[in-house]
Structure 1
Amino acid sequence: MPKADATSQNALAGIFWMIVTGLCFVAVTAIVKYVGSDLPAAQAAFLRYVLGLVFLIPMIKPIIASRLTARQLRLFGLRGVVHTIGVVLWFFAMARIPIAEVTAMNYLSPIYISIGAALFLGEKLPPRRLAAVLIALIGALIILRPGVRAVELGHIAMLGTALAFAVGYLLAKQLSGEVAPVVVVGMLSITVTIGLAPVALAVWVTPTLPQLGWLFLVACFATAGHYTMTLAFAAAPLTVTQPITFLQLVWAAILGYVAFGEAIDIWVMLGGAVIMASVSFITWREAVARRSITPPVHATER
């Protein structure tokens, strides 16, 4: 097979798996929205992780074999604390603002990562990349429109979610060169489950069997989404797969309209497009520079 044809097929495969990834994450968002505020956010998040521990079984042996040092355990613990905060804020926001707004504001994580990498990891922030970051922040303002409409607690929670996930990624980046990826993912599940436990117990409400079933589906779709995302990245470069993630916002807006009666806000779509364009530009610049600092939008686990 000619090299050009193989490259084209790989790109199509990457696009396909990224589309599947987007559908999985939209399903996660929809189910959490459906469960709504019937369960406290911390408890819903805890149950999602507890029910998802079944997927951790294949990771136990590599974690034990890695013989983690005290420093690595501290970094994993810190990442667990930060990610725990982000997950609780995400579940909180999902019950209070439209699905499309949650999806659009989640695109901010790679922007926060770019800023954090420059401030704390010594990464360069050249003028073009800095301009892309500023444009993305303008996109966030387009979504929020402070002074034009009320900024709700759910919006503030999503700003915190994106920031927490960004900090968690930067910590994972420190560890990724020291331990296997499966260890990084497995330790995240363990530490977040432990971190959520006391918060969930403090606000515990006895869940119904249907609620447990829905939250188990959340764990299934989230796990499937991360797996298909890995397949997408293995098949094609980020410059091909990254722009496809914008489809998640389109699907989220349609789902919110059809299933939950949420109005399609053109300003949210526009702001999300601005943020996604900025993220895609940064990804392209990193590819040109032959390095990868900024992760894909959903590189962090919910």
Structure 2
Amino acid sequence: MLATTLAFVGVNGIVRHLGTDLPAAQSAFIRFAFGLTFLVPALWAMRGTRLPEGIWPLFLWRGGLHVAAVIFWFWAMARVPVAEMAAIGFLNPVIVLVIAGLLLGEGLGRGRLVSIMVALLGALVVLRPGLREITPGHLSQLAATLCFAISYIFAKRLSAMAPASVVVAVLSVTVAIGLAPIAWWVWQPVSAEQLAWLAGVAALATLGHYTMTRAFRAAPLAVTQPVTFLQILWATLLGALVFGEAVDGFVILGGALIVGAVSLNTWAEARKGRIPPQPEP
């Protein structure tokens, strides 16, 4: 899980380094195009898989949500401090908790409600509306977080209908296809250096998903979830040392509240023998 946090912060750092030279849709498309090369074995293994009827609309809905999410995320990453991006992104599992409780029949007990309220308080500490300007970049990251969370709900349904490798591979293909016409519409010349950086984004993202999966297999979520807080610390250091961003104590405090609330809920539900919903980054 430690390696996972470093990999995902590395993704954030590279995208922030690339800045606004390339349109968000184009950057996202190139990243997913490179990512497909890592999934060639899974795509090849899919050729004999028989999928149940009615699964493709779910695949397409999830792909569409992910297309919107990655465009929002790439756009925001070039405009919002790295630590703030990481902190806002931690709202992802909180949104999933709300959706799972209200729409999937899992309920919103006292523990979940307390966790949600504490996490929302953390978000207010990070954003501090009324005390400073909420930029379009912040709104874009919030939109990305919401889209990623809803996408996870579709993933939860799909996981009961198809192997995990198929779900991941189809997501990558549908997102790449969905991004292609948007990227073509805004396409700008790409340098070899930019291509190399985006290939690095794909490699780090794939590594992060792999190490996260290994961590989930090796230990309970109640153990792995608190480690994700380190991502805010790495993001803060990256922003300060590489991009000259001021260290904001409110961002660290707010992020700690969000991660603490999610971790406490994970621990409580693990004690009850339930696995709470955990979205994919």
Q: TM-score range by the shorter chain?
A: over 0.9
* 2:119 is the counterpart of 1:175: no
1:249 equivalent to 2:229? Answer: no
The number of residues matched between the two structures is: 281
Secondary structure (helix, strand or coil) at the match of 1:96 reads: coil
Indicate whether 1:53 and 2:36 are aligned: yes
Q: Secondary structure at the match of 1:150?
A: coil
- Residue identity over aligned pairs, in percent, reads 49
Distance 2:3 2:76 in 1: 24
Q: Which residue of 1 aligns with 2:49?
A: 66
Q: CA offsets, 1:24-47, max 9 Å, x none?
A: 111111000001101001100000
SS at match of 2:190: coil
The one of 100, 107, 111 aligned to 1:117:
100
- What is residue 161 of structure 1 aligned with on the other side? 144
**How far did residue 70 of structure 1 move?**
4.3
The answer to whether the aligner puts 1:300 opposite 2:270 as a matched pair is no
**Residue 256 of structure 2 corresponds to residue 273 of structure 1:** yes
Q: Does 1:129 align with 2:112?
A: yes
Which structure 2 segments of 5+ residues have no match? none
What residue identity is the alignment partner of 1:196? Answer: L
Q: Which runs of 5+ in 1 are unaligned?
A: 1-17
CA distances 1:46-73 after superposition (whole Å, capped 9, x unpaired): 0000111111111113333222244111
CA distance in 2, matches of 1:128, 1:239: 15
C-alpha distance in structure 2 between counterparts of 1:117 and 1:67, whole Å: 28
RMSD: 1.0
Residue 89 (1) aligns with residue 69 (2): no
How far apart in 2 are the matches of 1:131 and 1:94? 30
Q: Distance in 2 between matches of 1:226 and 1:22?
A: 10
- Is 1:44 equivalent to 2:24 in the alignment? no
When the two structures are superposed, what TM-score results if normalisation uses the length of structure 1?
0.91
- Structure 1 counterpart SS, 2:161: coil
- Alpha-carbon separation, structure 2, partners of 1:119 and 1:65: 37
Q: Secondary structure at the match of 2:112?
A: helix
Q: Which residue of 2 aligns with 1:207?
A: 190
CA contact (8 A) 1:282 1:294 kept: no
Of 127-136 and 66-75, the range deviating more from structure 2: 66-75
Q: Among residues 73, 89, 93, which one is paired with 1:106 in the alignment?
A: 89
